[in-house]
Amino acid sequence: MPYTVPKLSDFSASALDSAVRGLLSALEQESAAAGSENDWKAFRDRWMARKNGILTQLNDLWLKAAPRDAKRDVGQRVNELKTKVEQTVDATLARIQSGASSGKLAAERLDVTLPGIRRPIGAEHPVIKTMNEIIGVFRNLGYSVEEGPEIETDYYNFEALNFPPNHPARDTQDTLFIAGQESKELRDRLLLRTHTSPVQIRTMQKMKPPVRVVCPGKVHRNDAADATHSPIFHQIEGLAVDTNITFCDLKGTLDHAMKALFGSSVKTRFYPSFFPFTEPSADVQISCIFCDGKGTRDGGPCRNCKASGWIELLGCGMVDPNVYGFVDYDATKISGFAFGMGVERIAILKYGVDDIQLFFQGDVRFLEQFG
C-alpha cells in the first residue's frame, strides 16, 4: 500500500521518531522499486511535487499542526527529511542512469570513427521571444527602439512623469529604493525603475519631434512572488509625439498591434482609466483568444476571461501636457500618445502558461517546449 503522511496528534520526541522511521522506510522502499527513468520521475513527483508532494504534506500535516512548543523540533526534523528525500531522489537517478550506461556499453562496441556529439543550439527564452515579436510589430510601423538604465533617479521615474511628491499614485508602484539615499534631495534619490517610462523622458530630452519609439526592458517592484506577480518583470512602452496626433491614432495603432500579435479576428476596446502621465487615459482589452470573445468554452464559462469575453492587456493614453514641460516641448504645437504592456502577461496568453514564476525558475524541461 502506498505511503501516506499520517496526521500527528502526539508531538513528543518518541512519537516523532516513530513517524520519521516510517517515512524513511517508505522512501527507501520506493527508491529501490524505481527501475527506469519513468519510474524515477513518478517517484520524484510523488515526494517532491510542489502542490501535493509528500514534502509539502509534511509542512501542512506536521509543521503547521504542531503546537507552539514543538514547532522548533518538528521544523528541524522536517528540514532534515527534506534533505534526505532530495539526496535519495538524486541517488536513485544516478543508480538508474549508471545501470543503463553500463548495460549499453557492455552491449555495444565503441566505434571511434563516428562523429562526435554535437551540442544542441539553444533557443530564445519565451519572454525574450515575445518581447522581440512585440518590438517587430512596432518596428514595422516605423518605431525605433530606445533603452535606458535600470537604476534611475526619482526625477526620471516619477517627477518628470507628472508624479508630484506625496502623490498617491507613487504608493501603487511599490518602489525599491537604493539604500543610503536619505541625505539627497527626493528627485536625486536612486531607485530600481518601476516602469520603462523614464526612457521616454530621456528620449524626448535628446530628440525633437517627431518621435516614435518603443522602450523595452526589465523593471522592478516590491511585489510578493506568486502565480501572477513577480518582483522582476519586463515591459514594453511606446511613445509617439508629432503634430496633430489624436486619440484615433492611438486606437488604430494598438488595434493593429493586437491583431498582429493575436490574429486578425481579435477585437479591441478602450475604457477610461487613470495614469498621472497621460490625459485622457484608457485601459485596453482584447476579445478573449480562448473562447473567441463568447465568454463560454466547452459548455461552461471561460475561466481565462471570467466569462466576460474580454481580457485586460495594457494601459495607454494621450501624453499629459504637463510632461512636455519637463522636456522643453511646446504643448500648444505638438501632441502624442503613450502605451505600456507587460511582456510576461502577453507571453502567458500566447503560450498558455498558468504561472509567471515558470519564466524565471530556469527549468530546462519547461523551456524546452519553446525551442
Q: List, for residues 107-152, the tens digit of each pLDDT value.
A: 556 777 888 888 877 788 999 999 999 999 999 999 999 999 999 9
Kindly list the distances between the CA atom of residue 294 and the CA atoms of 120, 243, 291, 297, in Å, as whole numbers in the listed order: 43, 39, 6, 8
What sign does the dihedral 173-174-179-183 (CA atoms) show?
Answer: positive
Q: What percent of the chain has pLDDT over 70?
A: 95
Per-residue pLDDT at 173:
64
Higher pLDDT, 144 or 164: 144
Count how many Cα atoms sit within 13 Å of the Cα of residue 149 in the half-sphere of its side chain: 10
Per-residue pLDDT band for 165 (boundaries 50, 70, 90) equals confident
Using the structure block, give the residue that is written with the C-alpha cell 541625505.
183
d(CA 95, CA 101): 10
Per-residue pLDDT at 117:
82
pLDDT, tens digit, 9 for 90 and up, residues 30-42? 888 888 888 889 8
Alpha helices in the chain (DSSP H): 13-33, 37-48, 54-58, 71-107, 126-139, 154-157, 168-171, 197-206, 247-262, 321-324, 343-351, 364-367
336 φ, ψ (degrees, to nearest 5): -170, 170
What average pLDDT is seen over the chain?
88
CB 47 within 8 A of CB 55: yes
In the numeric block, which cell numbers belong to residue 39? Answer: 519510474
d(CA 283, CA 363): 34
Per-residue pLDDT at 153:
93
pLDDT, tens digit, 9 for 90 and up, residues 259-307? 999 999 999 999 999 998 999 999 999 999 989 889 898 888 888 888 8
Per-residue pLDDT band for 368 (boundaries 50, 70, 90) equals confident
In the numeric block, which cell numbers belong to residue 210? Answer: 517627431
Per-residue pLDDT at 315:
95
Total count of residues recorded for the chain: 371
Using the structure block, give the residue that is written with the C-alpha cell 509543521.
63
Q: What is the mean pLDDT of residues 248-264?
A: 95
CB 25 within 8 A of CB 37: no
pTM of the model: 0.65
Per-residue pLDDT at 313:
92
d(CA 15, CA 6): 11
Using the structure block, give the residue that is written with the C-alpha cell 469575453.
309
- Does 158 score more than 70 pLDDT? yes
Using the structure block, give the residue that is written with the C-alpha cell 506577480.
229
